[in-house]
């Protein structure tokens, strides 16, 4: 798998100033990885060996299922299931006790259930992307401004950035973290207002054609996205 399809320029994502930039980066990586798996990866046995072992999480199976190429998905599933038969639920270990065999099988299953080829690629690319982002933040004043001008950070990615910013240079760490917190607080206040407005619209006094919903109509969806990234 070529590294270049997992390289997303930092500035390109931040210049959009639309939604959470980390969600935007993840969405783009996901799209590249899923398209690749459903297309070019068919020609690369190395990738198949890997996907046979890891499988995919529900979210990424769903994204693959919504692609047109269902044969690709079926072929991938075929060898993944065969791998399970051969290497997880096999009758190897002739001299082992039943107890130890069961334990080994359970351990292997636990690994597969928690594994996903696309999630792994995203995690790999994300670490590199963050290093570039922290470099930009340290070196460019314009980028620090651009960072502050983002629409918001979703809650899970706020946590990720706060955790990973531990490795940042001391000089910019606090400024970065304050910017992150401001982005969350500002959007949280906005969301809370919109959701409260939405609830108020169910009052009998607010029924009728010219009821003013303001920005509240999609506030449930926006609040869920803010809380869960999806
Ligand atoms: Zn996010
Ligand atoms: Zn996944």
Residue-by-residue DSSP string for 102-131: HHHHHHHHHHHHT--HHHHHHHHHHHHHHH
| CA 159 to ligand 1 center in whole angstroms | 10
DSSP 3-state percent helix, strand, coil across the chain (nearest 5): 75, 0, 25
Ligand nearest to the CA of 151: 1
**Residues in Cβ contact with 93 at an 8 Å cutoff, skipping those fewer than 6 apart:** 100, 101, 104
Distance CA 78, CA 86 (A): 12
Q: Which of 191, 131, 124, 180 is nearest to 157 (CA)?
A: 180
| CA 2 to ligand 1 center in whole angstroms | 25
| CA 144 to ligand 1 center in whole angstroms | 18
Ligand nearest to the CA of 26: 1
Burial grade of 160 (CB within 10 A; 0-12, 13-18, 19 or more): middle
| CA 94 to ligand 2 center in whole angstroms | 35
pLDDT of residue 145: 97
Ligand nearest to the CA of 18: 1
**Helix H or strand E encompassing 147:** helix 141-148
pLDDT, tens digit, for every residue of 205-222? 777 777 888 888 899 999
Which of the 8 DSSP states describes residue 203?
Answer: S
| CA 54 to ligand 1 center in whole angstroms | 25
Distance CA 137, CA 145 (A): 9
| CA 160 to ligand 1 center in whole angstroms | 9
**Helix H or strand E encompassing 62:** helix 58-65
72, 42 Cβ separation under 8 angstroms: yes
Neighbours of ion ligand 1 (CB under 5 A): 20, 22-23, 154, 157, 229
pLDDT of residue 167: 85
pLDDT of residue 94: 77
Low pLDDT (below 70) residues in the chain: none
55, 80 Cβ separation under 8 angstroms: yes
Distance CA 31, CA 27 (A): 6
Q: How far lies 16's CA from each of 11, 24, 102, 182, in Å?
A: 9, 9, 51, 19
pLDDT of residue 69: 87
**Residues in Cβ contact with 191 at an 8 Å cutoff, skipping those fewer than 6 apart:** 219, 222, 223, 226
Neighbours of ion ligand 2 (CB under 5 A): 57, 60, 116, 118-119
For tokens 């798996």, what's the residue? 37
């Amino acid at each position: 798998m070529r590294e270049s399809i997992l390289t997303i320029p930092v500035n390109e994502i931040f210049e959009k100033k639309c939604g959470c930039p980390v969600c935007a980066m993840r969405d783009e990586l996901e799209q590249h990885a899923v398209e690749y798996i459903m297309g070019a990866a068919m020609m690369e046995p190395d990738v198949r060996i890997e996907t046979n072992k890891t499988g995919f999480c529900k979210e990424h199976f769903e994204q693959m299922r919504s692609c047109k190429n269902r044969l690709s998905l079926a072929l991938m599933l075929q060898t993944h299931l065969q791998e399970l038969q051969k290497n997880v639920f096999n009758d190897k270990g002739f001299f082992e006790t039943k107890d130890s065999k069961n334990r080994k099988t359970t351990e292997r299953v636990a690994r597969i259930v928690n594994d996903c080829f696309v999630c792994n690629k995203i995690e790999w690319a994300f670490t590199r992307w963050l290093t570039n982002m922290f470099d930009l933040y340290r070196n460019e004043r314009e980028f620090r401004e651009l960072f502050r001008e983002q629409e918001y950070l979703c809650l899970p990615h706020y946590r990720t950035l706060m955790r990973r910013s531990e490795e940042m240079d001391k000089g910019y760490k606090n400024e970065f973290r304050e910017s992150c917190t401001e982005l969350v607080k500002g959007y949280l206040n906005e969301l809370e207002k919109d959701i409260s407005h939405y609830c108020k619209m169910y009052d009998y006094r607010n029924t009728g054609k010219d009821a003013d919903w303001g920005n509240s109509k999609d506030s449930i969806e926006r609040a869920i996205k803010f809380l869960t990234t999806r």
